[in-house]
Amino acid sequence: MKVKTLKGRPIVPGHCRGKALVSMKPISFLGGVDPDSGLIVEVGHDLKGKSVKGTILCFPHGHGSTVGSYVVYSLVKRGLGPKAIINQTADSVVVVGAIIAEIPMVDQIDIQQIRTGDDVEVDCSKGIVKVARRRQK
């Protein structure tokens, strides 16, 4: 197994491991993620139908209403939130949501270096993301 280390900017401190769920499209938590199921419901989104629950959620940035911050918080309180958030560029809606929900978060990461299903370890206190990709057979 090959491990790649990426360095970014710490946003919300924390450390965890999990499976990556990666999108190259922005995510709107208000209207794009169902707060009752944790499923991405945004029409035309590449992750439509996928659950954010327990994932290391990787996407370029958020978009949409500031109410999206509360949706992030609500997901965590219901046990449906991601373990961590990795962004290329942090935006205020996602940052506030991660802060109030205490979700480890880092940005300034090239998410094109991560694939859905990769094993990811994040140390958001140091801005370190370790990506383990199993070799293709």
Catalytic residue among 28, 37, 65, 125: 65
Instruction: Mark 23-61 as b/e (b = at least 16 C-beta within 10 Å).
Output: bebbbbbbebbbbeebbbebeebebeebbbbbbbbbbbe
**Residue 51 designated active-site:** no
Residues 6+ apart with CB under 8 A from 136: none
Active site residues: 65
